[in-house]
Amino acid sequence: MTKLSTPHGFQQMLSFPLMEALLGRRSRRFFMGADIPDGVFAHTSEQKALPLTDLEKMLVVSACGGNTSWHHMIYRAARYAPHLSNYAGSAGGRVFPSAAGFHTSQTFFTDDEGVYILEMRDASVLDDRADDGSLSLEAFVDNVRRRVRKLQSSRLELLSEVPYTEAHNTWVFNKPSTLVVIPVGDLSQHVLLNICYMLQNGLVLYDDINKCSIPGIDRFKDSVDIGNVWNITFVEQWSLSELTVELGTSCYAGVLMLQAMGLGGWMFNGIDPFAMLGASGRPEVPGLGFRYDEDERWPYPNSTGLEGVMEGYCPPHHQDMRAAVDALCERKFGPGGPFHPETPGPWKDSRKVRSAAQNHDEIFRECVALQAQYIYDTFGKFPGTVPSMFVIMYLQAHHLDLEFYDRFFKPGSYLKTHAMHIAHWHPGDSD
């Protein structure tokens, strides 16, 4: 395990009060080296832009996407008791919550040196918690550092100009020295998991757009009440809402860390989501470089994944939706999955707990695949009415230029951690 360098600011961060982080949170956008050329806040920084150190960067990324040991599972569902509820997609938990333990998002980030992914979604859990429930922060951060994979050797190529960046962010977003964290959600997998969830709870889909039942669903009438339905549009919007919470709370956890560390920054959504994923239509604005397709039936291009990095649970990354269902079941029930007997866990008898879940049998998989394939065939993509890959919220971290705040704001516009950050984290750069 890598031994973390521990400047004085690191030690202060460990004892920073939660209430001070909650009450002190603000968007603090003006960084060292920034420039606002006009208007009431016109100001040119006299400070040299200062990138985050490796330790600062890893602490922020860890706060947005780190593994926090084992997911505790959902204990019981009356409909299929005494079997363990088997909704979860991951055996591990992260710093943010995820609906039913689905965990369908991945964490990307960029700085002056490149674009990266934190491969933590299905990573094995680092360690059990101590008897008092604590985790080693050094091990937590080191685990993140070892899971970082570099994808590009330069900063994310997404222009800080309209229409790619909203007008109020063009002067500040993704500038040299800044760190930008980009949580990306796999909505194709999330919707597929919700179709499984529905079926386990006695529901099937209904096409409320074309006003028809799913063709062939009647052959499963002995397994489920096919008259008990959820509309496709509702399930897909519900899944979108659930995944939005996952992405948003990832960034919010990072925001709280900024207060404790004394870094500037903020969480925001003022970036064109299609360009961010790679569907700008312009080679000079590749974004994250995800594959995307277009169809006359769709109002927008649809990104489905980045080959070998984050691939959606849908074609073209799987041959058909049955193959996607089988891949999903392998994630859940295969080695390392939350319902594999050999996967360790937080319980005194983890084998007994994990073995208590029912595997999705052939009839179950066929029913899920039938519904998912109908969506794909009818709408040309999966999901049918929402994107396959989804981004909405970002976190930027940078070093504040305190002179800007001292010039325009009353005292109290930043915290003591911000006031002392350079001295406590970068003693060689302080005056």
Q: Could you read off the pLDDT of 181-220 as tens digits, one per residue?
A: 999 999 999 999 999 999 999 999 999 999 999 999 999 9
Taking the CA atoms of 347, 349, 352 and 355 in sequence, report the sign of the dihedral they define: positive
Q: Tell me the C-alpha distance between 206 and 356, whole Å.
A: 31
CA 206 → CA 71, 195, 212, 375, distances in Å?
32, 11, 6, 10
Residue 80 pLDDT: 86
% of the chain at pLDDT higher than 90: 93
One-letter identity of residue 71: H
Q: Tell me the C-alpha distance between 354 and 84, whole Å.
A: 8
- At a CB cut-off of 8 Å and minimum separation 6, what does 133 contact? none
Residue 235 pLDDT: 98
Residue 49 pLDDT: 97
Give me the DSSP letters along 373-428: HHHHHHHSSSSSSS-SEE---EEEEE-B-HHHHHHHS-TTSS-HHHHTHHHHH-GG
Domain ranges of the chain: 8-429
Backbone angles phi, psi at 114, to 5 degrees: 160, -170
Q: How many Cα atoms occupy the beta-carbon half-sphere of 55 within 13 Å?
A: 16
Q: Tell me the C-alpha distance between 220 and 199, whole Å.
A: 11
Does an H or E element contain 212, and which?
Answer: strand 212-213
Torsion of the alpha carbons at 243, 246, 250 and 256, rounded to the nearest 10: 130
Tokens of 301: 């291009």
End-to-end CA distance of the chain: 34
Long-range CB contacts (within 8 A, 24+) of 332-337: 332/86, 332/88, 332/89, 332/360, 333/359, 333/360, 336/91, 336/122, 336/124, 337/90, 337/91
The model's pTM is 0.96
Helix axes 54-65, 232-261, angle to 10 degrees: 150
Backbone angles phi, psi at 375, to 5 degrees: -60, -50
Residue 1 pLDDT: 39
| Counts of helices then strands in the chain (DSSP H, E) | 13, 17
- In order along the chain (431 residues), what is the average pLDDT of each group of 10 residues? 70 96 97 98 97 97 96 89 93 95 98 98 85 91 95 95 96 97 98 97 97 97 95 98 98 98 98 97 95 96 98 98 98 96 95 95 98 98 98 98 98 98 87 53
Residue 429 pLDDT: 67
